[in-house]
Structure 1
Amino acid sequence: MLPRIASFLTAALLGLTLFQPAVGQAPHTGDVFVDKGGVLRWAKGKQEVALFGVNYTAPFAYSYRALGKVGADREQAIRQDVYHLARLGVDAFRIHVWDVEISDTLGNLKENDHLRLLDYLVDQLERRGIKIILTPIAYWNNGYPEKDTGTGFSSIYGKDAAYTNPRAVAAQEHYLTQFLNHRNPYTKQLVRQDPGILAFEVCNEPRYHQPEGPVTAFADRMAGAIRATGCRKPVFYNIAESPQVHNAILNAKVDGLTFQWYPEGLVGGHTLHGNFLPYVDRYPIPYAGDARFKSKAKMAYEFESADVVQPVMYPFMARSFRTAGLQWATMFAYDPLAIAYANTEYQTHYLNLAYTPAKAISLLIAGQVFRRTKRGQAFPSYPADSTFGAFRVSYREGLSEMNTPDAFYYTTSTGTRPVAPAQLRHVAGTGASAVVRYGGLGAYFLDRLAPGVWRLEVLPDAVPIRDPFAKTSLAQPVTQILWNDQPVQLMLPGLGDNYTLRGINEGNTAQATATGGRATVRPGVYVVAAAGQNTAAYGAQTPFGAGQLGEFAAPAPTDLGPQVRHTPPAQTGAGQPLRLTATLTGVGPRDTVLLVAQHYYGRTTQIVPMVATAYATYAATVPAALVYPGLVRYWLVLRRGGQARTFPGNFAGQPGDWDYAHPEHWEVPVVAAGAPLPLFSAGADKDLTEAHGVGENQGWTDYVTTPTGALALRLAQEPASAKNPAPTAGAPVVALRAYFGDRLASRPAAELAGFRAVVVRVRPGAGAGVLRLSLATRDAVAYTADVPVTGTDWQEVRVPLAAFRPAPLLLVPRPYPGFLPLDYTAPRTPGALKLADAEVLQVVLGAAPAGPAPLTVDLESVSLQ
């Protein structure tokens, strides 16, 4: 106790607040219970529980192996990640324990490195005040995305046998008994008695089928095994994974129910673009009115906005969970710092404070939404709920924001002013605001220590260089980390224009005085003080929240050299200057960046200087004289001293050199005014769009060739069978979703006004259902029209834009779990379609009466004409 008392006294003398919401201190300690109304409450004080955080898998499976492959010290990796989680205000942690790695086939617990690291992780989380719910049984083997090597009971009993095979049931009982009676050597606590572990979810995503009796019996038996150890903590059980037997779980003798949410599906293979906020506007649970449901606590064990990097989804998800009555929500899964550069762990997810700074700040904001929103609190439908309480979410701005008297958090540059600048205690964000202007691409945090004294923490620049949701490899970084001197301007009340900065993290000896409020910083931790303030008492070991003032964790610079990320426009209009932008890293102050453009095989070559418009962003304009109908090809050249490097390819030399023999280049078609604008082309866009079945086993997609050899997307309805009953006539069975907002932006507004129809090149199969087109705007308002196809031959069908009428937006990719809504209707009746606002195309095949063979429609292209 003496060290803690000493720390408290030191903090009090220095004017610090030990409770720092921005660094994840939990407001409650001790056990929890579920009351008769199904509310999870703290045993002390009886307040409702509201905890928000992440899953994190470093002790197990791929994460464990990958940390070894990159040579990371696993304990240090855990310490760094837990610090970052605390920095993001996380106060909840959940993981499905890979039982296959810590048990044998009989369910005996193995004392090995996986179990030791889990114990170590639990201890580190508890030191930060982060509460824990463990799911002891995962049912997964440990291989994904590699080969399985686990040898526990889950390696021989699949999910179907897990609750029906007597040996499997006995092994699970044996394992649960030993797991809960395991003593953590770091906390010295038995798992079942550890006050930092609030509850247990029996098993991860079980798979059940009718009849329901064995399901209830198994759930009761597993819950009984936990309670037989003497454990009195709440027991939760998954009800969302097998909704067809939900009554079996509602009848089970468990204290709580668990849910998950993947609102736009999983594993898209590329970044999804467009407005997905309607997908997370609500989380309606179909059994919400059932008395059995109401008597149980609710938690979201996993959620994620998969394949989306926009930092706007988490706050909406947190709010929707609270409206649905959930009291715990943990995102799956936070990427370990040491391997986040490649996003190889579940590549459909991507979240790490250093590597996805804006998305990470949105998690910080979402945690505040979750804790500040009352359980069951209702909100208007999107977009009216984009501003709620202290929060604002804007798809158009790419912004999530929290603005309270004591805290101001934002995910990108914002024009919002703090509501009470003089009362500010915490600031976190990326980009610029009314109180901070920062030139880098990393996150930063400011916490007031005393009047006129602040702690500033700056993370390195994180530059996306590849699509993080495409095929991944540890040998292929998707985000480049750079440690740079970056300009900062602080405009905090009481700080003044001539404040001082003093580095205090390990190795940071920087000292500087601002001029006119402006200074230069590198990644690290600084004590920032008004002129004349004595800050000698603030050192690296000074207590700060649950840690110390000088704590800092950041990845080393990514040693890649200059990197370029650029996607050429799909086309551009003739006679208009062509503006091109690219992400380029590794440019020194004396380097020159050039754009070399040439009409394909034309005689004229333009060399245009590229100008930095922001850190790592360069732009140049190709003169209109070169932009005549045809094809413009171009390169980006980085000149350093007497040397040149050319992109794409990062080759020595430059185009025009007699021996520059590399064929790589970018190109953009130049079309005459009024030329068709492609919204979807099967051959060109197959890796950029989403095409999936909508119902359960009712639809699928494939690519086929036309008689001329062109590629076409096949939309197919499965034939009916005993296991696959025919869907309701007209119901969506398969859909294409294609984002075209960037293509629309490449054409002048005057041209857009000249388009009159959507033209579809299509071949309907005999008996196929109705084909519908939908154009969705940036505000997620959908306009729909049918495609009047006849016969079974290839044909071009014109659908006048005037025929499109407001209609519900089909939510594809399909939200998961399957009980979630499949459509969204704008709350206000919209006016006529404004083409300039459109950004997403949907082509939907409606169900037809089932036949003996698949019913198909082949789609080659969709364009505006």
Structure 2
Amino acid sequence: MFLKIAALLTAALLALALPQPTAAQTPHTGDVFVDKAGVLRWAKGKQEVALFGVNYTAPFAYSYRALGKLGVDREQAIRQDVYHLARLGVDAFRIHVWDVEISDTLGNLKENDHLWLLDYLVDQLERRGIKIILTPIAYWNNGYPERDTGTGFSSIYGKGEAYTNPRAVAAQERYLTQFLNHRNPYTKQLIRQDPGILAFEVCNEPHYHLPEGPVTAFADRMTGAIRATGCRKPVFYNIAESPQVHNAILNAKVDGLTFQWYPEGLVGGHTLRGNFLPYVDRYPIPYANDPRFKSKTKMAYEFESADVVQPVMYPFMARSFRTAGLQWATMFAYDPLALAYANTEYQTHYLNLAYTPAKAISLLIAGEAFRRVKREQAFPGYPADSTFGAFRVSYREQLSEMNAPEAFYYTGSTATRPVAPAQLRHVAGTSSSAVVRYGGTGAYFLDRLAPGVWRLEVLPDAVPIRDPFAKTSLTQPVTQILWNDQPLQLALPGLGDNYTLRGINEGNTAQATATGGRATVRPGVYVVATTGQNTAAYGAQTPFGTGQLGEYAAPAPTDLGPQVRHTPPAQAEAGQPLRLEATLTGVGPQDSVLLVAQHYYGRTQTLPAALRAGAHVPR
């Protein structure tokens, strides 16, 4: 049998193909209110709110413990992650606070490291212009996926009795009062007064049963406890978790309703394959026409394409939320940079800019879709709706993209040309396009600073080496990080073919001049300028957005030695050539890659692997 072996060598890695900005933060500040039609609006200007982002849990539970086990400075970890969230255009953050870690059994607030880290996280988010909704009561203990150690009131009162046991109700009232009156030592604000915290969701995923009366009474009592502190921010309540008592929540004196969406389920134990876009073509709500429902604002407190790494789900989900009338949506949960190599926080979720670059860019695109699609805007059914406005989603190409005059974002190689090249101000993506040809597998961002001057940020190569949704462990990486020299070709308006590059992040002293538009870069931040342009004014501390020009965060290289990942073909035709492809890391251009083919009764053949056309071999 004749075997044709193919492989792609890309700067110390063999990949299967050529490697497959950020959005401005919301200009709105201050309080929000819910109008009589159930629309959440900014108090100043009265414009509708539309915010999109993530949950992130570093101050609590498993993330907190795992960061400690790895010896990671938790505050530094938070700074790095919040920087990446800002790069992805995130403008919304939500978390269910692990009350079990910051309260005692009577509901008294405990001043401890968890609370201080939450305060620090809130401050870092607000510095980036990211708005916050907090859910003060989680009801969870803190163990998953390990044993529980929390000792607060949620450790002794389960969800089933939390709303009926008088001692549990009193503990929650006491806790809410003290939590909202807590003063953040970083922002100097009381939580209930902080302008960066827009609203509160009383509790996370409560479990209720009939009759409905006690449910409404409890929701009203908790809302009353919040109001008694002097807080006038909107109060949300979960209506998705116990649908049998939805009337009780619709009758409650709350301003908004909260929903979740896990369309393929959770914890499949392996990567799901196939086209799941039909699953997220609509977000149906059974009581959408109820007048009580219409008078309340709506948010998706959690959503995710669980066990799926395809970079196509988030834009569809964002658009479906907007069609359903939602004004806030936060993915659960963004993986801390220090833990994402192993995906141990929540096995069924996996999202991190450095480790899942294409999926992360799809979140950037989804955020833009969420903000640009009008509330309750209708679309045709799939697949006719695969292109909408500036957006295109293709399962076949495994591609999401946004092509607007000022911004061009894409999750992988695309043949699409920018709609208005001369107006481009932001480019972000992985792999190659009409304006960027890049040989690595990490994400990159280009932001125009002035005519002929751009900021370039390049993340390291990310190479999947194990199924991230199988059983995970801190000792078992699922994605490998490689810092490689990679080929770069830019065709940006006003830049020319002989542009200069100057590294400006810490430790990056690189300087180069492109030839014919081509250069070589390593991970880092660069000032890129047309020939003869003076860039002395652009340094690491130069203000840039909500931060500084030289900011950069990336994981260290993963030292694993040679690694091979190969998915065998499902079938082969006898007598016909068979193409085998594999991803190899830990090898260099001087190394040979051989396939040893052995038939049970026949002779062993040793066949050399061929370098895939267009691959980059580093010098």
Secondary structure in structure 1 of the residue aligned to 2:236: strand
Cα–Cα, structure 1 residues 569 and 178, in superposed 2: closer, same or farther, change >3 Å? same
Q: Distance in 2 between matches of 1:247 and 1:135?
A: 22
For 2:615 and 2:144, the matched residues in 1 are separated by: 37
The whole-number CA distance in structure 1 between the counterparts of 2:120 and 2:572 is 56
1:47 paired residue number:
47
Any idea what SS the aligned residue of 1:100 has?
Answer: helix
Measure the CA separation in 2 of the matches of 1:616 and 1:581. Answer: 16
**1:173 counterpart SS class:** helix
Conservation of the 8 A alpha-carbon contact between 1:260 and 1:302: yes
Identity among equivalent positions (%) equals 90
Task: Indicate the SS of the match to 1:446.
Answer: strand
Question: Does 2:351 match 1:346?
Answer: no
Q: In structure 1, what is the equivalent of residue 583 of structure 2?
A: 583
Q: State the shift of 1:578 in Å.
A: 1.5
The equivalent residue for 1:97 is 97
Q: Is the 8 A contact 1:92 1:328 kept in 2?
A: yes
* Unmatched 5+ stretches in structure 2: 1-20
Aligned counterparts of 2:349 and 2:393: Cα–Cα separation in 1: 21
Q: Specify the alignment match of 1:111 in structure 2.
A: 111
**CA distance in structure 1 between the aligned counterparts of 2:424 and 2:264, rounded to whole angstroms:** 37
For 2:256 and 2:91, how far apart are their aligned partners in 1? 19
Per the TM alignment, residue 75 of structure 1 is displaced from its structure 2 partner at its CA by 0.2
Deviation (angstroms), 1:615:
6.1
Letter in 2 for 1:518: R
Secondary structure (helix, strand or coil) at the match of 1:86 reads helix
Decide whether aligned partners of structure 1 residues 24 and 85 sit closer, same or farther in structure 2, where only a CA change above 3 A counts: farther
TM-score with structure 2 setting the length: 0.95
SS at match of 1:76: helix
* CA deviation string 1:218-253 (max 9, x = no partner): 000001000100000000000000001000000000
In structure 1, the residue matched to 2:3 is none
Q: How does 1:48-87 map to 2 (within 5 A)?
A: 48-87=48-87
Structure 1 residue 24 displacement after superposition: 4.8
2:419 corresponds to which residue? 419
Q: Are residues 563 and 606 of structure 1, via their aligned partners in 2, closer, same or farther at CA, if it must alter by over 3 Å?
A: closer
Distance in 2 between the 1:538 and 1:412 partners?
A: 30
2:12 alignment counterpart: none
Q: Does the CA-based 8 Å contact 1:24-1:87 persist in structure 2? A: no
Equivalent residue letter for 1:445: F
The question of whether the paired residues in 2 share the 8 Å contact of 1:54 and 1:334 is answered with yes
State the one-letter code of the partner of 1:250: L
> How far does residue 473 in structure 1 lie from its aligned partner after superposition?
0.2
> Which residue does 1:501 correspond to in 2?
501
State the shift of 1:613 in Å.
Answer: 5.2
Indicate the residue corresponding to 2:264 in structure 1.
Answer: 264
After the TM superposition, which residues 311-330 of structure 1 pair with which residues of structure 2 at under 5 Å, given as runs? 311-330=311-330
For 1:402, the aligned partner's letter is M
Measured after TM superposition, the shift of residue 25 of structure 1 is: 2.0
Aligned mates of 1:44, 1:392 — CA distance in 2: 34
Show the 5 A alignment for 1:462-501: 462-501=462-501
Q: Matches of 1:276 and 1:567 in 2, distance apart?
A: 21
Q: Once the 2 structures are TM-superposed, how far is the Cα of residue 172 of structure 1 from its aligned partner?
A: 0.3
What secondary structure, in the 3-state scheme, does the structure 2 residue paired with 1:592 have? coil
Larger radius of gyration: 1
Tell me which residue corresponds to 1:529: 529
Alignment of 1:591-610 (within 5 A): 591-610=591-610
Letter in 2 for 1:181: N
How far off its partner does 1:599 sit?
1.2
User: Counterpart in 2 of 1:406?
Assistant: 406
Q: Structure 1 615/218 Cα, relative in aligned 2: closer, same or farther at 3 Å? A: farther
> Secondary structure, in 3 states, of the residue corresponding to 1:22?
coil
2:16 is matched with which residue?
none
Offset of 1:566 from its aligned partner? 1.0
State the match for 1:720 in structure 2.
Answer: none
Superposition deviation, residue 611 in structure 1: 2.2
**What is aligned with 1:671?**
none
**SS in structure 2 at match of 1:596:** strand
The residue aligned with 2:18 is: none
Distance 1:283 1:372 in 2: 18
Match of 1:295 in 2: 295
SS of the equivalent of 1:346 reads: coil
Question: Aligned residue for 2:366?
Answer: 366
Question: Could you tell me how far 1:596 is from its partner in structure 2?
Answer: 1.2
**SS at 1:569 equivalent:** coil
Listed one character per residue, the Cα deviations across residues 319-346 of structure 1 (whole Å, up to 9, x for unaligned) are 0000000000000000000000000011
Other-structure match for 1:231 = 231
- Report the CA distance shift for 1:64/1:616 in structure 2 as closer, same or farther (over 3 A): farther
What is the aligned partner in structure 2 of residue 750 from structure 1?
none
Does the CA contact (< 8 Å) of 2:594 and 2:606 recur in 1?
no
TM-score, structure 1 as length reference: 0.68
For the pair 1:192 / 2:185, whether they are aligned, the reply is no
Unaligned runs of 5+ in 1: 1-20, 618-865
Q: CA distance change for structure 1 residues 37 and 339 in 2, over 3 Å: closer, same or farther? A: same
- Partner amino acid, structure 2, of 1:259: F
Name the CA distance, whole Å, in 2 between partners of 1:174 and 1:601. Answer: 77
Tell me the amino acid that sits aligned with residue 382 of structure 1.
Y
SS in 1 for 2:484: coil
Aligned to 1:384: 384
Cα distance in 1 for partners of 2:23, 2:315 equals 18
CA contact 1:392–1:400 (8 Å) conserved in 2: yes
Compared with structure 1, are the counterparts of its residues 88 and 430 closer, same or farther at alpha carbon in structure 2 (3 Å cutoff)? same
Counterpart for residue 279 of structure 2? 279
Structure 1 residues 613 and 251, CA gap change in structure 2 (3 angstroms): farther
* 2:23–2:364 CA contact under 8 A, matched in 1: no
Code of the residue aligned with 2:99 in structure 1: it is D
**Alignment match, 2:6:** none
Provide closer, same or farther for how the CA distance between residues 191 and 615 of structure 1 changes in structure 2, counting only shifts above 3 A: farther
Asked if the contact 1:24–1:130 (Cα under 8 Å) also holds between the matched residues in 2, the reply is: no
Aligned to 1:558: 558
- Say which SS state the counterpart of residue 22 (structure 2) adopts: helix
Structure with higher RCO (Cα < 8 A, 6+ apart)? 2
Equivalent residue number for residue 568 of structure 1:
568
Q: Which residue of 2 aligns with 1:455?
A: 455
Answer whether contact 2:486 2:616 (CA < 8 A) is retained.
Answer: no
**Aligned-pair CA distance for 1:616:** 9.7
- 1:23/1:89 contact within 8 Å kept: yes
> In the alignment, what sits opposite 2:143?
143
Q: 2: CA distance between counterparts of 1:78 and 1:432? A: 31
Work out the CA distance in 2 between the residues paired with 1:528 and 1:213: 64
What SS does the aligned partner of 2:71 have?
coil
Q: Is the 8 A contact 1:595 1:610 kept in 2?
A: no
Q: Deviations over 1:765-812 (max 9, x none)?
A: xxxxxxxxxxxxxxxxxxxxxxxxxxxxxxxxxxxxxxxxxxxxxxxx
Distance 2:614 2:559 in 1: 22
1:306 and 1:603 map into 2 onto residues whose CA distance is 45
Residue 305 of structure 2 is matched in structure 1 by: 305
Greater CA deviation, 525-534 or 593-602? 593-602
Task: For 1:420 and 1:24, locate their aligned partners in 2 and report how far apart those are by CA, in whole Å.
Answer: 19
SS in 2 for 1:132: strand
Give 1:541's aligned residue.
Answer: 541
Letter of the 1:591 counterpart? D
Aligned partner of 1:212 in structure 2 is 212
Following the alignment from structure 1 to structure 2, what is the Cα–Cα distance between the partners of residues 281 and 175?
A: 40
Deviation of the 1:559 alpha carbon: 1.1
Which residue identity does 2:213 align to in structure 1? G
- Deviations 1:261-291 (CA, angstroms, capped at 9, x unpaired): 0011000000001100000000011111000
Q: Which has the higher strand share?
A: 1
- Alignment match, 2:7: none
Could you tell me whether the CA contact under 8 Å between 2:23 and 2:368 is conserved in 1?
A: no
Structure 2 residue matching 1:558: 3-state secondary structure:
coil
Paired residues of 1:304 and 1:349 also in contact (CA < 8 A): yes
Letter of the 2:201 partner, please give it.
Answer: E
Rounded Cα–Cα distance in structure 1 between residues aligned with 2:238 and 2:85: 26
Question: SS at 2:400's partner residue?
Answer: strand
Can you list the C-alpha shifts for 1:608-635, whole angstroms capped at 9, x where unaligned?
A: 3342457699xxxxxxxxxxxxxxxxxx
Does 1:167 pair with 2:167?
Answer: yes
Q: CA deviation at 1:587?
A: 1.6
Q: 1:432 to 1:209 in 2, by over 3 A?
A: same
Alpha-carbon displacement from aligned partner over 1:576-621 (angstroms, at most 9, x marks no partner): 112111110122121111111121241242423342457699xxxx
* Aligned-CA RMSD value: 1.1
State how many pairs are aligned: 597
Structure 2 distance, partners of 1:602, 1:49, is 69
Question: Given residue 379 of structure 2, which amino acid in structure 1 is its aligned partner?
Answer: F
